[in-house]
């Protein structure tokens, strides 16, 4: 990044890389939870619907904690929030093997682990980067952080599948709890300085006024609608793709490698999206992403269910998988500035995970009722098309002009 002074280059790389590594661990674990559905069902006998419900609650709680974690980070800084989140994620994974009821599984994977993962995820990490970097670096940093989450999915999915097969799901849970603790030193090494250009002076009404203004803004609400669909789509797939692979008579490795390919492709998609954010309107990027998902699902439904079909489908989906995060955050930043980005983006992620709850839970209900996911695929096509249309009228202009704070 030759356009930045050397001190800002160091700040860029320290902040972006550390945030990327943290997200690699938390999202790599979270996005691979679907691999536990079958072994959990075999070990506990709870049934697909009960396990889907626990994971669906996890999808919702991951989103529900985002605005609160963001508000805490806006007030106290990202470090205490990230440290608490990582410790909760590790705790939830550690005690999961000790439960054998729907309530217990919902408590460990659906609440404790999900809150921990959410508190150390996008809203806090991307906001921490954006508030510590100049405007010209924020899109690239968001793309790099996003790529970290995707890389985590790429490396964690096949490793977790192999660990489950060799060590069993219980030892795999404990192993992941230990891996989570490896992210703690990364939190301490994140750059401390906040960019003067990123923060506006506190205005009358503070966060309350910012929330009231945002919730009355049509573009912000349309952004929520599109992100709701994104959550439905992603949660359905990460929870039920392994079962879909099994229904097609394919080996479990096809599911783990499909999830891994989604993560690998999204590294490319996230980095390229970070590049595009500074050159195109973010809403147009989102329109293309959501429309492409509807087309890819139609391709999957028409194609023969082979290993190659799943791999092609996964690569296509992966190019937009989590790449929606950076342009969504960029639009919020353009509309309302950086001061309360963690909170406002956290609310958008809550909308994302309400969709995630429905995608994960309804997948289990449809499978039990019909023996397949056909209705879910058609719902996904309809929602993806709706999301693409919802982003068309979004405007990208400042509602709040961010003033520079001169360094003393």
**Average pLDDT score over the chain:** 85
Q: Is the pLDDT of residue 322 over 50?
A: yes
Structural domain spans, the chain: 6-391
Q: Is the pLDDT of residue 400 over 60?
A: no
Q: What is the pLDDT of residue 271?
A: 82
pTM beyond 0.85: no
Q: What is the pLDDT of residue 299?
A: 95
> Which of 33-42, 73-82, 186-195, 294-303 comes out lowest in average pLDDT?
186-195
Most confident of 46-50, 201-205, 284-288: 284-288
SS (H, E, C) the chain: CCCCCHHHHHHHHHHHHHHHHHHHHHHHHHCCHHHHHHHHHHHHCCCHHHHHHHHHHHHHHHHHHHHHHHHHHHHHCHHHHHHHHHHHHHHHHHHHHHCCCHHHHHHHHHHHHHHHHHHCCHHHHHHHHHCCCCHHHHHHHHHHHHHHHHHHHHHHHHHHHHHHHHHCHHHHHHHHHHHHHCCHHHHHHCCCCCCCCCCCCCCCCHHHHHHHHHHCCHHHHHHHHHHHHHHHHHHHHHHHHHHHHHHCCCCHHHHHHHHHHHHHHHHHHHHHHHHHHCCCCHHHHHHHHHHHHHHHHHHHHHCCCCHHHHHHHHHHHHCCCCCCHHHHHHHHHHHHCCCCHHHHHHHHHHHHHHHHHHHHHHHHHHHHHHCCCHHHHHHHHHHHHHHHHHHCCCCCCCCCCCCCCCCC
Q: Is the pLDDT of residue 6 over 70?
A: no
Most confident of 6-15, 204-213, 222-231: 222-231
Quick one: what percent of the chain has pLDDT higher than 70?
A: 88
Quick one: what percent of the chain has pLDDT higher than 90?
A: 44
- Give the model's confidence band at 226: pLDDT under 50 very low, under 70 low, under 90 confident, else very high: very high
Q: What is the pLDDT of residue 342?
A: 76
Residues 3-17, mean pLDDT to the nearest whole number: 63
Q: Is the pLDDT of residue 381 over 70?
A: yes
> Which of 48-57, 144-153, 161-170, 297-306 comes out lowest in average pLDDT?
144-153
Q: What is the pLDDT of residue 9?
A: 62
Q: What is the pLDDT of residue 232?
A: 93
Q: What is the pLDDT of residue 140?
A: 73
Greater confidence (22 vs 148) lies with 22
Greater confidence (198 vs 363) lies with 363
Q: Is the pLDDT of residue 134 over 90?
A: no
- Give the model's confidence band at 407: pLDDT under 50 very low, under 70 low, under 90 confident, else very high: very low
Q: What is the pLDDT of residue 256?
A: 87
Per CATH, domain 6-391 is 1.20.1250.20: yes
Q: What is the pLDDT of residue 408?
A: 35
Residue pLDDT, tens place only, 74-104: 788 888 999 999 999 999 999 999 998 999 9
> Which of 182-191, 238-247, 274-283 comes out lowest in average pLDDT?
182-191
- Give the model's confidence band at 125: pLDDT under 50 very low, under 70 low, under 90 confident, else very high: confident
Q: What is the pLDDT of residue 311?
A: 95
Residues 352-360, mean pLDDT to the nearest whole number: 89
């Amino acid at each position: 990044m030759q356009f930045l002074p050397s001190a800002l280059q160091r700040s860029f790389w320290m902040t972006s890389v550390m945030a990327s590594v943290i997200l690699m661990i938390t999202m790599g674990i979270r996005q691979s939870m679907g691999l536990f559905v079958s072994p959990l069902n075999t070990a506990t006998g709870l049934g697909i619907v009960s396990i889907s419900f626990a994971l669906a609650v996890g999808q919702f709680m991951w989103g529900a904690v985002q605005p609160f974690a963001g508000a805490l980070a806006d007030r106290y800084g990202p470090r205490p929030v990230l440290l608490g989140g990582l410790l909760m994620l590790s705790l939830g994974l550690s005690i999961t093997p000790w439960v054998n009821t729907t309530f217990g599984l919902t408590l460990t994977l659906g609440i404790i682990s999900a809150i921990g993962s959410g508190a150390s995820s996008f809203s806090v990490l991307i906001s921490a980067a954006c508030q510590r970097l100049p405007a010209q670096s924020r899109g690239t940093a968001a793309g790099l952080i996003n790529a970290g989450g995707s890389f985590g999915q790429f490396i964690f999915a096949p490793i977790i599948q192999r660990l489950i097969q060799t060590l069993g799901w219980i030892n795999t849970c404990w192993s992941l709890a230990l891996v989570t603790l490896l992210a703690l030193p990364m939190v301490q090494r994140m750059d401390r300085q906040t960019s003067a250009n990123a923060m506006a002076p506190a205005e009358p009404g503070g966060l309350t006024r910012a929330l009231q203004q945002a919730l009355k803004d049509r573009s912000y609400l349309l952004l929520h609608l599109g992100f709701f669909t994104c959550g439905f789509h992603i949660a359905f797939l990460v929870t039920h793709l392994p079962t879909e692979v099994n229904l097609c008579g394919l080996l479990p490795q096809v599911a783990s490698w499909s999830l891994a390919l989604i993560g690998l492709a999204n590294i490319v998609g996230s980095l390229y999206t970070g590049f595009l954010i500074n050159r195109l309107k973010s809403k147009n990027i989102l329109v293309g992403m959501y429309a492409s998902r509807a087309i890819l699902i139609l391709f999957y439904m028409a194609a023969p269910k082979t290993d190659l079909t799943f791999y092609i489908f996964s690569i296509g989906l992966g190019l937009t998988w989590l790449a929606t995060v950076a342009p969504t955050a960029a639009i919020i930043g353009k509309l309302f500035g950086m001061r309360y980005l963690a909170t406002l983006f956290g609310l958008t992620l809550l909308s994302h995970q309400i969709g995630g709850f429905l995608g994960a839970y309804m997948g289990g209900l449809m499978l039990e009722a019909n023996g397949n996911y056909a209705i879910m695929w058609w719902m996904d096509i309809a929602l993806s098309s709706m999301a693409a249309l919802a982003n068309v009228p979004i405007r990208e202009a400042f509602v709040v002009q961010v003033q520079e704070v001169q360094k003393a």
